[in-house]
Amino acid sequence: MRLRVLGAAAGGGFPQWNCGCPGCRAVRDGSRPATPRTQSSIAVSPDGDRWWLVNASPDVRTQLADAPALHPVGDRGTPLQGVLLTDAEIDHTLGLVLLREGGGVHLHATAATHRTLREGTGLLPTLERFCPVSWTEVVPGADHDLGGLSYRAFDAPTAKHDRFGPPRDAGGTATGSGAGRVVGYRFTDTATGRVAVYLPGVQALTPEVLDEIAGADLLLVDGTTWHDDELVRLGLAAKTAHDMGHLHVGGPGGSLDVLTALDLPRIVYVHVNNTNPILLEDSDERAEVEKAGVTVGHDGLELEV
Ligand SMILES: [Zn+2]
């Protein structure tokens, strides 16, 4: 299978329009080496001819323009077969509206994500005013065949707070209907059996999540921040990465330590927030990631599994 990182940054991109953090400043003024990145999304294909997006970011128009394999076929054709969603975050779904010219959008989403898009953010009714939308329900744990490629979604632990999410009990735990609110995808090439896992949003690397990652030939994983309290330290937000349903990379218990111990052939950080110093190419943190044999994902990164 082939994969292309369309956007390697978290929500807001790199630089973010209203952010003056050290990384965003560096990429604007060139004072330190840093490469701009668009918002989080990948494309995946079994054969290079048929492609599926995983998430549709607000930057989808430029992401498709920059990807020759995703250019139109004939006068008005597209290699795009559909869009798989990991969740209903606006940064992962706003691009659906920008795909309206395609004559219809085919969504793969869990029931929880579908419900949030319809009743919470209202993005689905908006999209349906512009083009037909069809839906394949993604059921965590169940295999779904795309022809040459199959996927199995799995539940990713997420933050308790979700203003659009399904009901929670008094302790903040999502009730039964909360399952499927955030998922990762495990893709298998049906010809070779090789596996790629895409997990751009996960709050904790629990034993269940590590089981889903096990044996993958490629892991594309949440690299949101370096420190868990990075946004707090910078005075940009009151929430930690964990509070927002994401991982931190550095330090004891950070994802770099945990994931490199798994001995996977290839790990790529995606969904990297603009505050994360691994985006600064001369930083100690970037050097530490690279020394561990892990890639900091960038837009346009092509991977074959
Ligand atoms: Zn910033």
Is residue 223 within 8 A of residue 300, CB to CB? The reply is: no
In the structure encoding, which two tokens stand for residue 121, read together?
């953010």
- Taking only the tens place, the pLDDT of each residue in 145-187 is 999 999 999 999 887 545 555 544 443 344 444 689 999 999 9
- Nearest CA among 222, 148, 159, 218 for reference residue 186: 218
Q: Are 88 and 124 in contact (CB under 8 A)?
A: no
List all residues 6 or more positions away from 279 whose beta carbon is below 8 Å from its beta carbon: 14, 23, 27, 34, 35, 37, 272, 286, 296
CA atoms within 13 A on the CB side of 217: 14
Residue 164: per-residue pLDDT: 56
Cα 22 to ligand 1 centre (Å): 7
Nearest CA-CA partner of 289 in 244, 257, 263, 246? 257
The tally of CA atoms less than 13 A away on the side-chain side of residue 27 is 23
Give the distance (Å) from ligand 1 centre to CA of residue 24. Answer: 4
CA of 285 to the centre of ligand 1 (A): 16
Between the CA of 292 and the centroid of ligand 1 the distance, in Å, is: 25
Summarize pLDDT for 4-36 with one digit per residue, the tens. Answer: 999 999 999 999 999 999 999 999 999 999 999
pLDDT band per the 50, 70, 90 thresholds, residue 236: confident
Expressed in angstroms and rounded, the spacing between residue 241 Cα and the centre of ligand 1 is: 14
135 CA → ligand 1 middle, Å: 35
Amino acid identity, position 13: G
CB 197 within 8 A of CB 186: yes
> What single DSSP character describes residue 281?
T
Distances (CA, A) of 124 to 52, 143, 178, 209, 271: 19, 25, 19, 29, 23
Residues 233 and 248: their CA atoms lie apart, in Å, by: 14
User: What pLDDT does residue 76 have?
Assistant: 85
pLDDT digits (tens, 9 = 90+) for 69-115: 999 998 888 999 999 999 999 999 999 999 999 989 999 999 999 99
Instruction: Indicate the average pLDDT of the chain.
Output: 93
CA of 300 to the centre of ligand 1 (A): 21
CA torsion angle for 185, 275, 301, 213 (degrees, to 10)? -30
Give 210's Cβ-side CA count (13 Å radius).
Answer: 11
**Domains of the chain (ranges, CATH numbers):** 2-298 (3.60.15.10)
Q: What pLDDT score does 168 carry?
A: 43
Low-confidence winner among 20-34, 42-56, 230-244 (lowest mean pLDDT): 230-244
Whether the bond between 46 and the residue before it is cis, its omega within 30 degrees of 0, is: no
Using alpha carbons, select from 86, 160, 92 the residue that is nearest to residue 123.
Answer: 92
Higher-pLDDT residue of 241 and 165 is 241
